[in-house]
Amino acid sequence: MTGGYEVVDIAEKEYEIHTKTGGSFHVNLRTRTCSCFEFQMLAIPCSHAIAAALKAKINVEELVIDEYKLDSLNRAYEGIILPESASPVGIGMPSIVSDLQLGPPATRRPPGKPKKLRYFSRGEKRVGEMCSQKDQMRQVQGNWTQQGHLQEPNLR
Ligand SMILES: [Zn+2]
């Protein structure tokens, strides 16, 4: 028994794993596969493969593919990226970009008072009716009081 599994030798580096619940899985350590498919899908040994590796006295870490190992990670970042000023060839800016005169957009504020209420999205519900101006004043001044700007106003 290995980790609650019964491991049976089938062939060279091939094992039949019997679980306590009556299931059985076929592990091949040479091709790094298991009939549960987790081993070949993740390229990380499944519990059945680990049980087989323990039986075969193989280091479990050797069953993980090289791409997941620290050495591969280090190799992925071993190249250097130079800052633009240090790069040997400057990046040429096309004249269509460098000749542009960029300024603020030529727009004006529309006439009239801006709307206080925003447009509601489709499906969004308007909660209650609009407050009276007096309630809105009280709410605003109440908020200020919370921030320490004003004392509670007497609106009555
Ligand atoms: Zn498995």
The SS3 call for residue 70 is: helix
Residue found under tokens 């000023």:
85
Whether the model clears a pTM of 0.85, i.e. scores above it, the answer is no
Q: How far is the CA of 59 from the centre of ligand 1 (A)?
A: 17
CA distance linking residue 156 with residue 145, whole number of Å? 17
The SS3 call for residue 84 is: helix
Q: How far is the CA of 65 from the centre of ligand 1 (A)?
A: 16
Q: How far is the CA of 6 from the centre of ligand 1 (A)?
A: 13
- Token pair recorded at residue 16: 């039949």
Q: How far is the CA of 71 from the centre of ligand 1 (A)?
A: 26
Report whether pLDDT(115) > 60.
Answer: yes
Distance of alpha carbon 36 from the chain centroid: 27
The pLDDT tens digits of the residues spanning 61-111 come to 999 999 999 999 999 999 988 776 665 666 677 888 888 888 888 888 888
- Token pair recorded at residue 95: 């004249």
**Rounded to 5, what percent of the chain is helix, strand, coil?**
35, 15, 55
Please report, rounded to a whole number, the percentage of residues in the chain having pLDDT higher than 70. Answer: 74
Contact by Cβ (8 Å): 48, 10: no
